A and B are shown apart, each in its own frame.
Chain A
Amino acid sequence: MEKISLREIYKIFFIIGAQLIGGGYVILPLLKKYIAEERKWLSEEELIDYFAVSQCIPGIIAGNIAIFSGYKARKGLGALAAITGLITPPFLCILILAHILTNFTNNEIVQEAFWGIRISVIVLIIITVKDMWTKSVNSKFTYTLFSIVLIFLLTMKISPAVIIILSALSALLYSKIKGNKNA
């Protein structure tokens, strides 16, 4: 197979990055089209594997798949080209918007709109939790863990990193205890 140039990788992920609106899952159909079908850098099965693994490791899902795909094409440098390409368009968009917004924050209409958007954000958070719920909280153990964590979060100030580490440890411990009982 002929070597894929880093510029080509950057370019493709730049195009994907510019079209990525509305969160991580949108990247899957884009990658299928640009990388699996048109360029055949990897197969559809590989893409689905990458997607599954991306959800299980730290980092943003879309970013992780980009890193995997770039790595498949050209190892470490390919991964770097892919992730840089992916974040260039949003990076520029954010800078421009942030700059414009700071000049408009005293405008009354803009303030009213952002007052409403604040409520949209709350609604988005609630909908996201609702979508995650059945896959996440579905057993005695997960209900208990959810309730304990929520009580802690609502009553004191704890770093989310501490919550993540403790939850991972308790789940591992629970599986060990349960495993021993069955054996």
Chain B
Amino acid sequence: MLKLYLLLYYEFFKTGLFAIGGGYAALPFLYYMQSSHNWFDMDELTNMIAVSNITPGPIGINMATYTGYTTAGIFGSIISTTAIITAPFIIAIIIMKLINKFKSCKEINYIFNGLRPASCALLISIGLKLLYQTITYNKEEWSFPVQFDYNAIILFLILILPFTFMKKRPFIVILAGAVGGIILKNI
């Protein structure tokens, strides 16, 4: 059990250190944990993302709390939540001491020029993998033969078309998905 707690702390410390920009930045790390540690399955991962979106609080931290709880109970959730904020906390304190220097640092801008496209690729690769798994019933990445879940394709199109143009309100997207799911599974 101690080993699990340490591993949990290590994984979320790493997530806190390397997940840069917005709430979904932690997602690629969770996906990676799923595939390398088997702490939770794909269904649980999407449940965690959904719950993190509809509860108050920063999404990244919420996902850490939920993952910790699923993996190792309440104590696990305390560990993962503490772990994900450890590195940012230390870095933020250091930055505060040199904030004026930091604002004009050119190298930081150059680095971000590379980090932003990488974050886009990380997120879209997860989006594509999840989409593939959902519309083909396959639990593995890119496995064959392919059998399509037409209900899933219909719901995906119904949700993606309007919400691409609307202002992003995660709560409404999730609610629409839940209602759509119940309707499509019962007709």
Contacts and interface: CB of A to CB of B under 8 A. Distances in A.
Q: Do A and B bind each other?
A: yes
Interface of A: 17-24, 27, 49, 52-53, 55-64, 67-68, 71-72, 76, 79-80, 83, 86-87, 89-91, 93-95, 97-98, 101, 109, 112-133, 135-137, 141-143, 145-146, 149-150, 153-154, 157, 159-161, 163-165, 167-172, 174-175
A54 B126 CA distance: 25
A149 B118 contact: yes
24 contacts: A22-B171, A23-B59, A58-B18, A60-B23, A87-B57, A91-B65, A93-B55, A112-B185, A113-B182, A116-B181, A119-B152, A120-B173, A120-B177, A120-B178, A121-B130, A121-B177, A122-B134, A124-B53, A124-B170, A125-B124, A136-B119, A145-B114, A174-B110, A175-B113
Nearest to A153: B125
A115 to B, nearest CB: 5
Contacts of A57: 20, 88, 91-92, 95
Interface residues of B, number: 104
Contacts of A79: 89, 92-93, 96
Nearest to A18: B56
Interface string B43-56: 10011011111111
Contacts of A143: 117
Contact of B89 (A53, A67, A114, A167): A67
Interface in B125-145: 125-131, 134, 142
Given A116-B178, A136-B117, 16 more contacts: A20-B57, A24-B22, A58-B18, A60-B19, A86-B57, A87-B81, A114-B43, A118-B50, A120-B174, A122-B134, A123-B159, A123-B177, A125-B126, A127-B163, A149-B118, A171-B114
A141 B113 CA distance: 9
A53 B158 CA distance: 38
Contacts of A98: 51, 66, 69-70
Contacts of B59: 23-24, 60
A22 B53 contact: yes
